[in-house]
């Protein structure tokens, strides 16, 4: 399927402009995998440059490469290259651009990284502020006592 | 529609500023659905926002090792009000006293319109009884029974009917001639899934199901990896099957939509069977034959 995409008859090119001004020229059929972009094109047919205000050039490049190359093998290796921050930013990008395949791949990857980890670890990697009262937290921990057994060391 | 777009256009300007908190609930639940339920429920401790997020994760997945975990699973099901998309229970060992819980869990899942059920109890030595309600579910799309479930409890007066079922995987347990009684309810089951697209049979040694037309069946997986123990009753079993097949020979219908066939074989398996399956699959595109040593 990846090969089909690049050989498609559509030779029309589209420019995507990332939040930091970086420009990407992509084929129409690649851009259409981003449903948000598709909606944009549907609304104004003559558009040549589409602004993507929420995604940095660095991440848009990764997203475009994913769309071009995606297959089972690529997906398996894809997520290993990125740190947690990048994974989260890529997920935000995939969500904004509405690319379901990439979203699925990234959700799976993030889940894998927090599997069997302690809440302290998860708070750290996700940068979540703990606003539970100590009593509330103690109560929840007691309720799920079994689940907290055998957790990986941080 | 415009609102949907709105909620997606958030700005993530500062890197590392609680990025995950910018994600909508739905997306976080999607991440949680890839975790074991044990890991997902721990997230309730993270912060106030996360306290009940895990209860909305569409999937439940339990890998159970001992009886102590029953209370945990009970608690999860008690709290659950959200519909369940997929329920997966894999258990290392199952004993008779666990039965009442198992029944209740399945019933609760059915009440919550579960669409995919994946049940596997390894090293099992007894009779698992599945609730009848399971075989009349309108919501079930995928049913995978990975350990030998005995079907004897499907009464002849009870008709299984799974109108939404597209994928069915069953493991049979044929150790004695008495187990042949299981074939009958099995046929009833397959007959009750009119929209079946994928069928997987483990340890199945007969071909009677071929007399049903499964007009939408696209994929068929037959696994004969476990050799039938050549012990008492073996020859009776083979005789019984041959008789049944001769009886229904004229009724053997071809699969008109089947394009994928997977067969797992061993030195013990009956090649005639395989040839006859191939004769009934005129539209086949992909054939995979795998030998297990």
pLDDT in tens, B262-278: 988 877 666 777 787 78
Q: How many Cβ pairs closer than 8 A exist between chain A and B?
A: 113
The span from the CA of A54 to the CA of A38, in Å, is 16
User: Which pTM does this prediction carry?
Assistant: 0.80
Choose among B8, B45, B72: nearest Cβ to A95: B8
- Banded model confidence at residue B139, pLDDT cuts 50, 70, 90: very high
Question: Is the Cβ pair B39, A112 closer than 8 Å?
Answer: no
Those residues whose C-beta lies under 8 Å from the C-beta of residue A56, and which sit 6 or more positions away, are A18, A19, A20, A22, A89
pLDDT number for residue A22? 94
Question: Is the Cβ pair B47, A114 closer than 8 Å?
Answer: no
Question: Is the Cβ pair B11, A53 closer than 8 Å?
Answer: yes
Question: Is the Cβ pair A36, B12 closer than 8 Å?
Answer: no
Q: Would you tell me how many other CB atoms lie within 10 Å of the CB of residue B238?
A: 14
The highest-confidence range among B56-65, B93-102, B146-155, by mean pLDDT, is B56-65
- Banded model confidence at residue B132, pLDDT cuts 50, 70, 90: confident
Whether the Cβ atoms of residue A115 and residue A93 lie closer than 8 Å to each other: no
pLDDT over 90 percentage in chain A = 43
Out of A15-24, A88-97, B50-59, B127-136, least confident range = B127-136
């Amino acid at each position: 399927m990846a090969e089909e995409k690049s050989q498609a008859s559509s030779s029309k090119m589209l420019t995507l402009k990332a939040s930091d001004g970086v420009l990407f020229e992509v084929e129409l059929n690649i851009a259409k995998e981003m449903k948000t972009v598709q909606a944009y094109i549907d609304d104004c047919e003559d558009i040549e440059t589409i602004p993507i205000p929420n995604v940095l050039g660095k991440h848009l490049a990764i997203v475009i490469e994913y769309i071009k190359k995606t297959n089972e093998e690529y997906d398996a290796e894809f997520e290993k290259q990125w740190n947690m921050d990048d994974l989260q930013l890529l997920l935000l990008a995939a969500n904004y651009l509405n690319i379901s395949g990439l979203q699925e791949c990234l959700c799976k990857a993030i889940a894998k990284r927090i599997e069997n980890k302690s809440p302290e670890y998860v708070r750290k990697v996700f940068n979540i502020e703990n606003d539970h009262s100590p009593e509330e937290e103690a109560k929840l921990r007691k309720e799920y006592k079994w689940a907290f057994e055998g957790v990986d060391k941080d | 529609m415009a609102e949907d777009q709105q909620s997606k256009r958030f700005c993530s300007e500062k890197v590392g500023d609680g990025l995950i908190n910018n994600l909508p609930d739905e997306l976080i639940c999607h991440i949680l659905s890839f975790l074991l339920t044990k890991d997902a429920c721990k997230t309730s401790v993270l912060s106030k926002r996360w306290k009940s997020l895990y209860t909305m994760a569409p999937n439940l997945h339990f890998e159970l090792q001992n009886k102590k975990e029953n209370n945990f699973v009970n608690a999860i099901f008690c709290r659950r009000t959200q519909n369940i998309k997929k329920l997966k229970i894999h258990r290392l060992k199952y004993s008779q006293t666990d039965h009442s819980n198992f029944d209740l869990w399945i019933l609760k899942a059915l009440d919550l319109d579960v669409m995919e059920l994946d049940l596997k109890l390894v090293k099992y030595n007894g009779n698992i009884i599945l609730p009848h309600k399971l075989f009349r579910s309108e919501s079930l799309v995928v049913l995978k029974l990975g350990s030998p479930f005995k079907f004897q409890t499907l009464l002849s007066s009870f008709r299984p009917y799974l109108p939404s079922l597209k994928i069915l995987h069953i493991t049979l347990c044929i150790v004695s001639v008495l187990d042949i009684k299981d074939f009958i309810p099995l046929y009833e089951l397959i007959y009750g899934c009119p929209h079946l697209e994928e069928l997987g049979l483990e340890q199945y040694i007969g071909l009677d199901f071929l007399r049903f037309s499964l007009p939408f069946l696209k994929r068929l997986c037959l696994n004969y990896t476990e050799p039938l123990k050549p012990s008492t009753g073996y020859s009776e079993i083979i005789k019984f099957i041959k008789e049944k097949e001769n009886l229904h020979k004229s009724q053997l219908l071809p699969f008109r939509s089947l394009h994928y066939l997977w067969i797992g074989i061993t030195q013990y398996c009956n090649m005639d069977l395989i040839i006859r399956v191939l004769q009934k699959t005129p539209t086949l595109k992909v054939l995979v034959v795998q030998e297990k040593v």
